């Protein structure tokens, strides 16, 4: 949400500190809060094809890094800077809503049952993860205790 708000506030910025607040602070914090959960949630949905899922998620940033400048160069001369940034905000809002709809598509009860089943298979006490299956997200090792620690 902070990313979308940051894009909508840029056209109203008139002084440097306003750009700093909008882009450096709001956009930076929003990106940090968005990227880490996107990586962490992969381990909940993918077991066998997890490396491919990580590759697709991380490639999304590179694709955006290529497409956004192209879009900006084509839109800005035609509609101006303020509306170009607003279009970026609407595009991000659409992608976020789409992601939320996909994320909450699976019933939470089914997800909880799958975790319980997986924890019984691996012998974990808290979450269905063994020591080899920890994700690379910082703090994820605090979530689960594997049977090797007992």
What mean pLDDT is predicted for residues 132-140?
42
Using only C-alpha atoms, what is the Rg of the chain? 20
pLDDT at 138: 43
CA 75 distance to own-chain centroid: 26
What mean pLDDT is predicted for residues 33-38?
80
Same domain, 122 and 138: yes
Domain count, the chain: 2
What mean pLDDT is predicted for residues 103-114?
66
Long-range contacts of 76-82 (CB under 8 A, 24+ apart): 81/11, 82/11
Separate counts of helices (H) and strands (E) for the chain: 7, 0
pTM of the predicted protein model: 0.63
Model confidence pLDDT, tens digit, residues 52-74: 988 888 888 788 889 999 999 99
Between 24 and 84, name the one with better pLDDT. Answer: 84
- How far apart CA 74 and CA 87 sit, in angstroms, is 12
Identify the three-state secondary structure at position 82: helix
pLDDT at 19: 85
Give the side-chain half-sphere CA count within 13 A for 91.
12
Same domain, 20 and 57: yes
Model confidence pLDDT, tens digit, residues 67-94: 999 999 999 999 999 999 999 999 989 9
Same domain, 149 and 97: no
Same domain, 65 and 22: yes
Furthest C-alpha separation in the chain: 65
| Contacts of 52 by beta carbon, 8 Å cutoff, 6+ apart | 46
Between 123 and 118, name the one with better pLDDT. Answer: 118
pLDDT at 108: 62
- Structure token digits, residue 40: 């962490």
Same domain, 89 and 135: no
Same domain, 100 and 111: no
CB atoms under 10 Å from CB of 129, counted, come to 22
- How far apart CA 51 and CA 59 sit, in angstroms, is 12
Same domain, 34 and 63: yes
- Structure token digits, residue 24: 């450096």
Same domain, 26 and 57: yes
pLDDT at 126: 52
């Amino acid at each position: 949400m902070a990313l979308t708000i940051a894009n909508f506030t840029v056209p109203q910025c008139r002084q440097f500190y306003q750009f700093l607040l909008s882009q450096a602070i709001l956009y930076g914090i929003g990106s940090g809060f968005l990227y880490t959960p996107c990586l962490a949630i992969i381990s909940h949905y993918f077991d066998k094809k997890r490396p491919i899922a990580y590759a697709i998620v991380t490639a999304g940033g590179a694709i955006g890094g290529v497409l956004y400048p192209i879009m900006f160069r084509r839109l800005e001369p035609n509609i101006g800077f303020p509306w170009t940034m607003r279009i970026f905000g609407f595009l991000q809002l659409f992608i976020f809503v789409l992601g939320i709809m996909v994320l909450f598509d699976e019933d939470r009860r089914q997800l909880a049952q799958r975790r319980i089943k997986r924890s019984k298979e691996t012998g974990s006490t808290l979450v269905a993860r063994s020591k080899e299956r920890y994700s690379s997200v910082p703090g994820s090792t605090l979530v689960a205790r594997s049977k090797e620690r007992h």
